């Protein structure tokens, strides 16, 4: 399980709990020598979902960070792909 979390951190370097298509593309291009296709990226991202809602920091105050407006892959989804 620790290996899966380590792999996940390659994509989510800011520890947001999700990663976006540009983050996925950058890592995969680095590891494949640039041979990842748009179709491959779309297929991987289709496993994700909607971006998370605004974060709640203390149960009452909404966080200021705005999530992306595009589909994302959450840490939970990523881990479940390898179980």
Tens digits of residue pLDDT in 6-16: 999 999 999 98
Instruction: Say if CB 34 and CB 60 are below 8 A apart.
Output: no
Tens digits of residue pLDDT in 1-40: 889 999 999 999 999 888 988 999 999 999 889 888 988 8
Topology classification of domain 2-54+61-80: Recoverin; domain 1 (1.10.238)
Q: Give whole-number Cα distances, 9 to 6, 13, 44, in Å.
A: 5, 6, 17
Supply angle C-alpha 26, 4, 54, rounded to 5. 65
Q: Give whole-number Cα distances, 18 to 35, 50, 68, 72, in Å.
A: 24, 10, 10, 6
Q: Give the domain ranges of the chain.
A: 2-54+61-80
| pTM for the model | 0.68
């Amino acid at each position: 399980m620790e290996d899966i979390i380590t792999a996940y951190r390659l994509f989510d370097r800011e520890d947001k709990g999700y990663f976006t298509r540009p983050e996925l593309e950058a890592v995969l291009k680095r590891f494949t020598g640039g041979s990842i296709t748009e179709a491959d990226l779309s297929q991987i991202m289709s496993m994700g979902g909607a971006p998370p809602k605004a974060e709640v920091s203390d149960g009452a105050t909404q966080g200021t960070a705005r999530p992306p407006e595009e589909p994302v892959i959450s840490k939970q989804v990523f881990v479940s792909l390898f179980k």
